[in-house]
């Protein structure tokens, strides 16, 4: 039995009278890639926002268990605390630090693990310069991984769309996450780029020992890499299971194609 | 990394030029011009400290005059000789624990910065949860509160009478020395991990938090550093002028600094230094406009305050004509959206 790294129990999120997500239950086991799908407006990003602390849920519990015996309740924690515990994310509408360089974007991802205090960074004390060098090398390694090492001094906003998506992933990886939440990583990509992305996700999962929870509209992505899929429609869980089970599920077909 | 090395050498060269310039200035220039040089140095410090808060961290704060007032009064009270204090405080004697202190200039300046920074943290803790215009209004209110409090604490600040006879320690070495420490501090801070985190907050708060940056801690930190240097600059100003009163620290003072920051570019160090010098010199250079001008065939009567009108017009023109340069950052952002 593998460890349930993320467990969402009875999650309900209301915005005024609108119920974005109702009594949602899900479990992501360590080392799995789990998909979350559903038509537009189904409440998928809301689930991510609640898990990462952007919103506080109206009801429900979220448990994060990075190691056996170390269990954290994520409800009520601030986003930066959650990131420090090892949950990091990318955004559906890319949120890079646009005016900063590509390298700095990844560099900032390391900031939460920085041990030096602010005065040792200003006076450039030896233990900070050593630490900075390590961060620099790690950031360059991540940039090489996504193939952006030659663009390290470009401003992030000036990159083409696909590269911005990859940079966002590198920045998230810089925080040393255990659990990575990817919000539509393949949005706006052509079939060839999508194939590369699938490979890339599998590669980083193996290399950094990640557990991945992802939202995606591209069915080929979700069907190919997910071990398990949750399907949301209007904030309600309508199906869960392996890709082939979900594909055959009538409720899912109905939600996506409408009733004939 | 190589880029940093080159800018380090450029900075050293600039430092050497300023040192030589100051030696020559002290030998050949009259007191009035020396005073302008002093003011320029002080405004460099003020501009950079405000740029750290507003430009690098992206918090729209307008409390600078308040922090300057705190610094100015701290230096004034701490450095003033004991007899001078007795002469100043004739309405109500000064509080006993301050009556007999007479500190040197350096410890007084550091105290000015620290008192301002501590107040910055106390004020910042509740207020920095606000953003944009709300923060601007709250900090503006804070600066006004400081001024009103200083007007009414007779036995501590001598109220509306102000302080007279503060020893004139400030010279060009002090004002530009502090300016260089500020330049050095801000540029090293920005180059390091914390400074990058400040800029990340400016760029996107949601993403910065998601990357594990504690917004509150970093905002307060930036605010405290900014108010520290504002306090030190206020102290330098007090010791340069020799006389201070609460009405010096009105909102217009904050706006003068904001002007320097905006002209020099939000988030730019070199630009702020250059614009601080230009603005200070121009404020003085345009002084002839306040006096009567005799053109030979007709005499134009002087209108006090005319230089401010002309100065404002020049600024408006500069911002309109120089829009490309000043607002380049915003424009760049627009095109990136268009591409998407």
CATH number of the domain enclosing A207: 3.40.50.300
Q: Are strands B243-244 and A4-15 parallel, antiparallel or unpaired?
A: unpaired
Could you tell me the CA-to-CA distances from B188 to A123, B129, B194, B272 in Å, in that order? 8, 26, 10, 16
Note whether A144 and A197 are same-domain residues. Answer: no
Number of domains in chain A: 2
Q: Name the nearest CA neighbour of B70 among B234, B279, B263.
A: B234
Measured between its terminal Cα atoms, the distance across chain A in Å is 42
Judged by CB atoms closer than 8 Å, whether chains meet at A112 and B211 is answered as: yes
As averages over each run of 10 residues, the pLDDT of chain A (260 residues) reads 88 91 93 92 92 94 92 94 96 94 96 93 92 96 94 94 92 96 90 90 94 90 91 92 90 76
Note whether A36 and A156 are same-domain residues. Answer: no
CA distance A127 to chain B (A): 13
Residue ranges making up the domain that contains A3:
1-86+177-260
Between CA A259 and CA B115 the distance in angstroms is 70
Note whether A252 and A198 are same-domain residues. Answer: yes
The answer to the question of residue A117 being in a domain is yes
**10 Å Cβ neighbour count for A221?**
22
Window 107-146 of A, Cβ < 8 Å to B: 107-112, 114, 116, 118, 121-124, 128, 132, 135-136
Is residue A98 less than 8 Å (CB to CB) from chain B? Answer: yes
Between CA B219 and CA B253 the distance in angstroms is 23
Judged by CB atoms closer than 8 Å, whether chains meet at A124 and B188 is answered as: yes
* Site of tokens 């050498």: B9
Find which of B85-89, B149-153, B281-285 is predicted with most confidence, using mean pLDDT.
B149-153
Note whether A79 and A186 are same-domain residues. Answer: yes
pLDDT above 60 (res B124): yes
Q: How confident is the model at residue B2 (pLDDT cuts 50, 70, 90)?
A: very low
Summarize pLDDT for B183-231 with one digit per residue, the tens. 999 999 999 999 999 999 999 999 999 999 999 999 999 999 999 999 9
Note whether A170 and A183 are same-domain residues. Answer: no
CA distance A150 to chain B (A): 14
Q: Nearest CB to B210: which of A89, A100, A124?
A: A89
Of A128, A144, A174, which residue constitutes the final position of a domain? A174
Determine the pLDDT at residue A168: 95
Of A174, A207, A242, which residue constitutes the final position of a domain? A174
Is residue A165 less than 8 Å (CB to CB) from chain B? Answer: no
pLDDT above 80 (res B5): no
The answer to the question of residue A91 being in a domain is no
Determine the pLDDT at residue A228: 94
Determine the pLDDT at residue A46: 94
Note whether A158 and A186 are same-domain residues. Answer: no
pTM of the model: 0.90
Determine the pLDDT at residue A259: 61
The answer to the question of residue A20 being in a domain is yes
Q: Name the nearest CA neighbour of A235 among A44, A56, A61, A35.
A: A44
Q: Count of A–B CB contacts within 8 Å? A: 114
Of A145, A174, A203, which residue constitutes the final position of a domain? A174
Q: Nearest CB to A157: which of B199, B213, B336?
A: B336
Q: Which residue has the higher pLDDT, A139 or B296?
A: A139
Judged by CB atoms closer than 8 Å, whether chains meet at B332 and A158 is answered as: yes
The answer to the question of residue A133 being in a domain is yes
Summarize pLDDT for B24-45 with one digit per residue, the tens. 888 888 989 999 999 999 999 9
Note whether A182 and A260 are same-domain residues. Answer: yes
Is residue A207 less than 8 Å (CB to CB) from chain B? Answer: no
Judged by CB atoms closer than 8 Å, whether chains meet at B192 and A84 is answered as: no
Judged by CB atoms closer than 8 Å, whether chains meet at B200 and A108 is answered as: yes
Judged by CB atoms closer than 8 Å, whether chains meet at A111 and B189 is answered as: no
Do A38 and A229 meet the contact criterion of CB atoms below 8 Å apart? no
Summarize pLDDT for B92-114 with one digit per residue, the tens. 888 888 888 889 999 999 999 99
Range from A171-175, A207-211, B250-254, B332-336 carrying the lowest mean pLDDT: B332-336
The answer to the question of residue A242 being in a domain is yes
- Residue of chain A minimizing CA distance to B212: A80
Judged by CB atoms closer than 8 Å, whether chains meet at B212 and A84 is answered as: yes
């Amino acid at each position: 039995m593998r460890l349930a790294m993320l467990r969402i129990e009875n999650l309900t999120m209301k915005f005024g009278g609108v119920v974005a997500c109702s009594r949602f239950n899900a479990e992501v086991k360590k080392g799995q890639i789990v998909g979350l799908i559903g038509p537009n407006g189904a409440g998928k990003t809301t689930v991510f926002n609640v898990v990462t602390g952007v919103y506080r849920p109206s009801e429900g519990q979220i448990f994060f268990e990075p190691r056996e015996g170390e269990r954290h309740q994520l409800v009520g924690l601030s986003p930066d605390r959650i990131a420090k515990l090892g949950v990091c994310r990318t955004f559906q509408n890319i949120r890079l630090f646009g005016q900063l360089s590509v390298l700095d974007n990844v560099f900032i991802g390391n900031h939460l693990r920085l041990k030096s205090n602010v005065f040792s960074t200003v006076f450039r004390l030896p233990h900070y310069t050593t630490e900075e060098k390590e961060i620099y090398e790690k950031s360059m390694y991540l940039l090489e991984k996504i193939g952006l090492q030659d663009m390290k001094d470009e401003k992030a906003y000036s990159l083409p769309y696909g590269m911005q998506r990859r940079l966002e992933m590198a920045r998230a990886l810089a925080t040393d996450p255990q659990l990575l939440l990817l919000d539509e990583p393949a949005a706006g990509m052509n079939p060839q780029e999508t194939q590369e992305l699938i490979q890339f996700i599998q590669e980083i999962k193996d290399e950094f020992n990640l557990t991945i929870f992802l939202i995606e509209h591209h069915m080929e992505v979700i069907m190919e890499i997910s071990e398990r899929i949750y399907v949301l429609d209007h904030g309600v869980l309508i199906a869960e299971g392996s890709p082939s089970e979900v594909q055959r599920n009538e409720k899912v077909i109905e939600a996506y194609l409408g009733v004939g | 990394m190589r880029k940093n090395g080159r800018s380090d050498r450029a900075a050293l060269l600039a430092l050497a030029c300023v040192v030589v310039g100051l030696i020559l200035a002290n030998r050949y220039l009259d007191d009035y011009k020396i005073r302008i040089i002093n003011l320029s140095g002080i405004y460099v410090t003020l501009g950079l400290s405000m740029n750290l808060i507003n430009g690098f961290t992206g918090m729209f704060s307008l409390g600078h005059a308040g922090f300057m007032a705190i610094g100015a009064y701290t230096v004034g009270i701490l450095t003033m000789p004991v007899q001078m204090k007795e002469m100043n405080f004739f309405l109500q004697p000064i509080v006993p624990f301050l009556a007999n202190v007479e500190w040197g200039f350096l410890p007084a300046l550091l105290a000015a910065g620290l008192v301002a920074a501590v107040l910055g943290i106390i004020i910042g803790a509740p207020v920095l949860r606000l953003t944009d215009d709300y923060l601007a209004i709250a900090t503006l209110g804070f600066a006004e509160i400081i001024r009103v409090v200083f007007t009414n604490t007779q036995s501590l600040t001598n109220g509306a009478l102000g302080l007279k006879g503060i020893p004139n320690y400030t010279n060009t070495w002090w004002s530009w020395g502090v300016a260089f420490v500020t330049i050095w501090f801000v540029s090293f801070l920005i180059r390091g991990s914390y400074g990058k985190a400040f800029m990340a907050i400016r760029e996107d708060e949601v993403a910065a938090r998601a990357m594990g940056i504690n917004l509150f801690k970093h905002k307060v930190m930036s605010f405290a550093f900014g108010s520290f240097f504002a306090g030190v600059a206020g102290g330098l100003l007090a010791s340069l002028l020799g006389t201070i009163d609460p009405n010096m620290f009105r909102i217009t003072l904050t706006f003068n600094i904001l002007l320097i920051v905006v002209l020099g570019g939000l988030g730019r160090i070199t630009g702020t230094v250059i614009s601080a010098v230009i603005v200070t010199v121009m404020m003085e250079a345009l002084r002839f406009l306040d006096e009567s001008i005799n053109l030979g065939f007709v005499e134009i009567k002087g209108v006090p305050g005319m230089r401010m009108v002309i100065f404002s017009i020049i600024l408006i023109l500069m911002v309109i004509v120089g829009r490309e340069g000043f607002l380049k950052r915003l424009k760049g952002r627009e095109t990136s959206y268009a591409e998407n």
